[in-house]
Amino acid sequence: MAGGGSRRWLRVLLGVFSVVLLLCGIGTAVGTWVWTRGVIDTRGEVDFVNRLAVPPLAQSRIDGQGRRVFDLRAQPGQRDFGQGGSTATWGFNGDYLGPTLRARRGEQVVVNVVNGIGRPTSVHWHGMHLPAVMDGGPHQMVRPGATWSPQWKIDQPAATLWYHPHPHGETAEQVYRGLSGMFILDDEPSAGLALPRRYGVDDIPVIVQDRKFTSDGRLDEGNSSLGGTGILGDTLLVNGTVGPYLDVSTERVRLRLLNGSNARTYDFGFADNRAFDLVGTDGGLLERPHRTGRIRLSPGERAEVVVSMRPAERVVLRSYPPNHGVEFFGGRFTGGEDTFDVLELRAAGSLAAAPEVPDRLVPVERLDPASAAQTRRFRLNGREINGRDMDLDRIDFAVTRGSTEIWDIEKQDATPHSFHVHDVQFQVLSVDGREPPPELAGWKDTVLVSTVDSLRIIARFADYADPNMPYMFHCHLLQHEDQGMMGQFVVVEPGQRPGRPPGGHGHAQHR
C-alpha cells in the first residue's frame, strides 16, 4: 500500500513539474515574443512609391487695417493611406494636416479658426511669441461651430513653427487624427542668406508622424505601448504620405523637419551616413551651421537641415535608434531601439546649381546667466511636475515682465519626457552640468529631457504681461500632457500680483 501511495505522489509531482515546465516555456515564449516585437526596424522594407505630399501654402489676404488674414477650418475627412482601406480623419482646410501658414516679422496676422469637428478644440501656435490670450492653449477653447480669431504681431526671428490643438485631455487624440500644420516665419536677415528658400522645390516641410493602422486601413487609436508613452506607431507618415519619395532638382535641399508625433523620438540621419548642415532649430537659424550626421528630435521639436545631392543618386532619410534617456526595458518599449526608413530623396540626372551653405548665418544673442532674476526647479516624475498635476484654475507661478529666468529641469523617473514652454524661446545653458551640444546651441522651445541629472535653460520674458491669462509649460509627449503633466505661469508687470485664470475651465468662452 505504502509503495502504491508514493508512486501516486510521484506521478502527481511529475504532473505538477510538467505543468510548471510548460508554463515556464509558454512564459519564456511570450516574453521573448513581446521582447522581440518591442523593436521595429523598417530598414530596406519601405516601398517608396508615393510622391511626398507638400502641404499647400495657406491663402491669405490683407484686410483694411493692413493685417494678413488666414482662414483655418478644423474639419472631418476621409483618407486612404494605402493601408487596406480608408479611415476617418481630421484636418485643417482638408482631410489630414493643414496648409502651411507663412508670415514675415513685423506683420500683423489674424487667423480665423473655425471649429467644424463637432468637438471642442483649440489651436496653439507652437513656438510663437504672442499674448497669452492669443496662444490657443486650453483657456482659448473654440466650441463646435464657433470661430476664434486671434491676432498678433509677428515679432521674432525667422523660424519653422507649427500649430496644433491644445484642449486639455484631448490633445493626443486630435493631433493623432490629423490636426497639425506648419507655420513658417520669415525675416530680413534670413532672406539675405544663400539658403534654399523655394517652398516645395528646394525648401521642403517634412512633418514626421508615426501611426498604427488596423488591417482594414483605419487609424488605430488603441494604446498598446508597454512603455507608458501613449501610442507608438509602426508606420511613418511624412506630410501624411506613407512610403514617400521626394524628387530633388537642385544640388542642395533644405528640409524643415518637424517631429509631429505623439510620443516617438527620432534620431534623423541618412542611410549612407552622409553629413549634412544643421542650420536651424525650434526658434530660428543658428549662428553658424553645424555639420553633423544625426539630429535627434523629440515630439514637438524642429530642425532645419541642408543636404547636398549628386545627380541621379537616391538616398534615404532614416531614423536611427534614439538615445532618449531611458535604458533597457523602458528604452525598448518607448521606441528607443527602433529604426525607420523615412523618406527617399531622388536626385534628377542633372541638378540646378546651389550655393554652399554660408559659414555664418545670423547673430544669436546669448542670454547671460548672471542677469537671471530667478532660478526655478522643475522635477518631472510620472505625470507630475514638482509633485503636482495640471489644474486649469491654479497659476503655478508668476514671472515678472522684462526679467530673465533660469529653469532647472530634472527627470526623476524612467520614462521619456520632453519639456515645452509657451510664450518664449529659450537657450540651453547646460546638460548634466556640461556645455550643451552644438545642436542645442540655438533658440529652442521644446527639449528632450534625456538625463536624470539636470538640464538648465534660460529665457527672457520681455512682453505681454497679463496677470490672469496663463501660458503653459508641459511635457510634449501628448498623452503625458493630457494626463496632467502640465502647469501654468503668468507674466506680470513689476510689483503686480498674479490673478485668477478665467473660470469654466476655459471651455466655450467664445461665441
Between 477 and 491, name the residue whose CB sits nearer to Cu ion.
477
Between 79 and 480, name the residue whose CB sits nearer to Cu ion.
480
What gap in Å lies between CA 97 and CA 61, rounded to an integer? 21
Q: Is 3 helix (H, G, I), strand (E, B) or coil?
A: helix
Burial of 269: CB neighbours in 10 Å, binned 0-12, 13-18, 19+:
buried
Does 354 engage in binding with Cu ion (CB under 5 A)?
A: no
Between 115 and 488, name the residue whose CB sits nearer to Cu ion.
488
Q: Cβ 477 to Cu ion, closest distance in Å? A: 4
Q: Cβ 176 to Cu ion, closest distance in Å? A: 16
Between 90 and 378, name the residue whose CB sits nearer to Cu ion.
378
Residues 391-430 close enough to bind Cu ion by CB under 5 A: 417
Residue 177 backbone zone (phi > 0: left; psi -120 to 50: alpha; other: beta):
alpha
Q: Cβ 382 to Cu ion, closest distance in Å? A: 9
C-alpha cell of residue 174:
486630435
Site string for Cu ion, 275-314 (x = CB under 5 A): ----------------------------------------
Q: Cβ 78 to Cu ion, closest distance in Å? A: 32
Q: Cβ 412 to Cu ion, closest distance in Å? A: 12
Residues 468-507 close enough to bind Cu ion by CB under 5 A: 475, 477, 480
Q: Cβ 417 to Cu ion, closest distance in Å? A: 3
Provide long-range contacts, Cβ within 8 A and 24+ apart, for 37-43: 38/226, 38/332, 38/333, 38/337, 39/332, 39/337, 39/338, 40/234, 40/335, 40/338, 40/339, 40/340, 41/338, 41/339, 42/234, 42/236, 42/339, 42/340, 42/341, 43/271, 43/318, 43/339, 43/341
DSSP secondary-structure letter at 261?
Answer: -
C-alpha cell of residue 140:
482659448
Between 399 and 475, name the residue whose CB sits nearer to Cu ion.
475
Between 238 and 326, name the residue whose CB sits nearer to Cu ion.
326
Residue 476 backbone zone (phi > 0: left; psi -120 to 50: alpha; other: beta):
alpha
Instruction: Enumerate the β-bridge partners of residue 203.
Output: 199, 254
Between 165 and 269, name the residue whose CB sits nearer to Cu ion.
165
Q: Cβ 351 to Cu ion, closest distance in Å? A: 42
Task: Give buried/exposed letters for 471-504 (b at 16+ CB in 10 A, else e).
Answer: bbbbbbbbbbbbbbbbbbbbbbeeeeebeebbee
Residues touching Cu ion, count (CB under 5 A): 4
Between 153 and 379, name the residue whose CB sits nearer to Cu ion.
379
Q: Cβ 238 to Cu ion, closest distance in Å? A: 24
Query: Contact positions toward Cu ion, by CB under 5 A?
Result: 417, 475, 477, 480
